[in-house]
Structure 1
């Protein structure tokens, strides 16, 4: 479907991960060994928070329908800015048209959201799910994707107050509506959500066979494991990344997020919680 990454840590130029790492997100857009599709060339997006944001600061976003590997503006932007928290996403369109408003990440106030996967049978459930979005939020839905509707449904159900609970309620609603319309497995996906301070990364599908999701181990641990690896020296001790698939080939550098789990990342590091587990 798609590939994405989310970074939290000391400010750095996003190009380090988006462009320059061994198996960067742009490299994955051309060749994604763990993806449902090998090529993710139907546009991309980049969302970033200022390195020293004011409380509630709105993140910047940049979307393009160009393939990520062919967009000079992405290279210029990710090499020019520094950010302590950013999202990036490359898209393989599963139905909705290729247009900027359908590119991830999506933004509302100080929140970012992105998704790899699909709400199955979306054409049959779209009306019910969209009508469940709070009327004050409805005008903010700019595109035609299932992902953007899910984001606004989660906002309706309290994402800004309780992200894990709101995502659970939103996913359960999608499953309930899907089942009512004869959809056997309504939800497939990995989801990333951020308020500019923390990242919530969800791995869940109705079939319990979800797309891949990993996060890096602590940099200090990595530097001890690989003391001669120069590429690790430029990262700060709080640098962490959540990814659809690993960014390098160093054994032990990335840990797979378990099925039906939310990985919560803040300044203290990672912790995992069950998410709609059986």
Structure 2
């Protein structure tokens, strides 16, 4: 499937997130430890918030480990909110329009998982997308349709409720076509101010997801670790798998949970389809 990370906090160089950690996202693109696939080489993408109203995007169909432009960009671009995603296709084409994160206005969205039997369910799900939003779907993935379905159901007003309604639609359509377990997801979305991350699956065995612990506490536990001193107290990460093995630095997100990260604080809420 895929691996991803969502960072918020003081501005950092992209390379500090993508390359420098022991189990960085670039390392995971070749040697994922907790993913369904060890290799996630079907393209990648990075989204970040800078001086403009809308976030910047960089997508490429090359494997993350093999892209010199990503290395160059990451050494110079700095941001306080970053989404990054490495892709392992579940059947749709390897093309730039299928690379995450997806963007609509100020919103970013990325997904690890799949809608089971998506070709069978696709027509019904696309027809549930707001007609005004439909022309903006550029690729062929289930993840992008899921994003635009959530947008159609109120993502910009109430993200947890909208994602719950979108999952409910997917499961209802799945059942109508005889698909017993249609949804497998860890999802992250942001408006540039708050990040919402979700872990859920129809079978109750979701893909891995973790969130970082408080940086100030870790700094007290590991006073000689230079990496921790470079991060602000409000720095937070939500990741598909831990970026390193520092004991106590990561907590697993429970099944059927929404993580809300805002202004250096995180809140875990129960999540389920509506």
Task: Give the TM-score, by structure 1 length.
Answer: 0.97
Q: Which residue of 2 aligns with 1:41?
A: 41
**Root-mean-square deviation (CA), in Å?**
1.1
Structure 2 residue runs without a partner (length 5+): none
Q: Distance in 2 between matches of 1:17 and 1:109?
A: 24
Q: Could you tell me how far 1:218 is from its partner in structure 2?
A: 1.1
Alignment of 1:112-151 (within 5 A): 112-151=108-147
Deviations 1:242-265 (A, max 9, x none): 100000011110010100000000
Q: Which residue of 1 aligns with 2:258?
A: 262
Flag as ranges the 4+ runs of structure 1 deviating above 4 A. none
Q: Which residue of 2 aligns with 1:173?
A: 169
Structure 2 residue 160 is matched with structure 1 residue 164: yes
Q: 2:104 aligns with which of 92, 103, 108?
A: 108
CA contact (8 A) 2:166 2:273 kept: no
CA contact (8 A) 1:175 1:186 kept: yes
Q: Which residue of 1 aligns with 2:244?
A: 248
Q: Which residue of 2 aligns with 1:93?
A: 89
Q: Could you tell me how far 1:59 is from its partner in structure 2?
A: 0.4
Cα 1:61/1:254, change in 2 over 3 Å:
same
Alignment of 1:20-59 (within 5 A): 20-50=20-50, 53=51, 57-59=53-55
SS of 1:246's partner is: coil
Structure 1 residue runs without a partner (length 5+): none
